Amino acid sequence: MFNKRVKIKDLLATEPKGQEVTVMGWVKGFRQNQFIALNDGSSNNNLQVVVELGTQDEATLKRLTTSASIKVTGELIPSLGKGQKMEVKAKTLEILGDSNAEVYPIQPKKHSLEFLRENAHLRFRTSTFGAVFRVRHTLAFAVHKFFNDKGFVYMHTPIITASDAEGAGEMFRVTTLPADNPPRNEEGGIDYKEDFFGKSTNLTVSGQLEGELGATAFGEIYTFGPTFRAENSNTARHLAEFWMIEPEMAFYDLEDNMDLAEEFIHYIIKYALEHNREDIEFLAQRLAEEEAALPKEKRSEMGLMEKLDFVVNNKFERITYTEAIDILLQSPAYKKKKFQYDVKWGIDMQSEHERYLVEKHFKKPVIVTNYPKDIKSFYMRVNDDGKTVAAMDILAPGIGEIVGGSQREERLDVLIQRMKDMHVPVDELSWYLDTRRYGTVPHAGFGLGFERLILFVTGMTNIRDVIPFPRTPKNAEF
């Protein structure tokens, strides 16, 4: 059998008693013609493999270059050297795959994140990205665990759809029609009747509308899948393809919705701290070193571990949109004209405003509720004041909006009126309106941007560095 290997993570947790073990991995470093630092991706920690002088031929030793893959069988013994508890004394050493160190892009030195982004196909092998993507995995697992333990049904909503759930028109078209000469209808427009689905379709921007169909049957569902937005926002917070978690619950009002979102975020961060503390501590150290090079006013007030502990152990602030605008209007930043964009009731807050609230004023995550209806989606429940909707956004320090959600409009007549006012096609969404026609119930839900959460937990600052293969304007490499 080939694969009788022990993972390095498991091995480092055992007692070295001279037992024989087989390990496989990639060479991280080789020094003094004797000491191999071996990594197999199970942990950021390397295993030291000792090749005793004279036991291997020179030709083999020469092939122990960075990122060569090897198989080693030997004795696991307490380490004689400093810096590690144990090491493997190699009995047999086999090179599985050579790596030409002269052209291998990832050299054993510190590379910039930009450089590694260009080499995203190999960046998983670095300590930073190894840690980031193991944390991503832990968080994804925690999402499923949280909802499964609560009895939510995991629902797969379609990737290809004919609807624009958010009504924002930021969709990628899906078509098999020839781009250069599509069939035309009588009015001269593109004839989508000839298209694969017989109508115009796009990649989903959100699974929410289908999620509501699930919630009004199962009671509580969640989705966790890729979503696509053709918004031309070339920022460190936007991706064209990102993963979203969208729970949708019958018999929930806005407050229930906020309570669930807060419990959920606390839970998954706590889960990651408990189940993958090692990688988060490594990233905390990385961030501290990075920030040490910055001028004092640009450094974070708290280290990453401290920040995460603080967030897990404190309640989020809850304010209405109207209160948020008042705080901004009273702020020294506003009075000293430090904001680039104007502040008044009715604006869609810009990230500078959100950051002020979260980072300067409250210094913790903030849930903002009851936004003006004109800046929010058609499905949000209209409040009694007729001006605002039962929306909630969660804003996080360093990130801005991390969650967007609302109580849904369950009154058929009010919903249809809203759709008409906002030019959302009522006929095409007849299937959606059926939930309001047949046993409508108060219900609510939210969407959490998975990559924004990962940014928060890992302390990384660019969203391109927390998804394996980022899709952004003018970039679909790999």
Output 404 or 445, the one with its CB closest to Mg ion: 404
Residue 265: CB minimum distance to Mg ion, A: 16
Output 238 or 443, the one with its CB closest to ligand 4AD: 238
For residue 357, the 8-state DSSP code is I
445 binds ligand 4AD (CB under 6 A): yes
Residue 262: CB minimum distance to ligand 4AD, A: 14
Both tokens of 137, joined, read 């995995």
Residue 177: CB minimum distance to Mg ion, A: 32
Output 24 or 245, the one with its CB closest to ligand 4AD: 245
446 binds ligand 4AD (CB under 6 A): yes
452 binds ligand 4AD (CB under 6 A): yes
Q: Which residues pair with 449 in a beta bridge?
A: 244
Phi-psi region for residue 302, left (φ > 0), alpha (ψ -120 to 50) or beta?
beta
Side-chain-facing half-sphere of 412: CA atoms under 13 Å: 12
Residue 238: CB minimum distance to Mg ion, A: 12
Output 268 or 368, the one with its CB closest to Mg ion: 368
Interface pattern 348-387 for Mg ion (x via CB under 5 A): ----------------------------------------
Interface pattern 141-180 for ligand 4AD (x via CB under 6 A): ------------------------xx--------------
211 binds Mg ion (CB under 5 A): no
The beta strands (E) that lie in 164-205 are given as 173-174, 201-203
Interface pattern 227-246 for ligand 4AD (x via CB under 6 A): --x-x------xx--x-x-x
404 binds Mg ion (CB under 5 A): yes
- Please state, in angstroms and rounded to a whole number, the distance separating the CA atoms of residues 443 and 259: 14
Residues in the chain: 478
Where in 358-417 is the site for ligand 4AD (CB under 6 A)?
Answer: 401-405
Q: Which residues bind ligand 4AD (CB under 6 A)?
A: 165-166, 206, 208, 229, 231, 238-239, 242, 244, 246, 401-405, 445-447, 449, 451-452
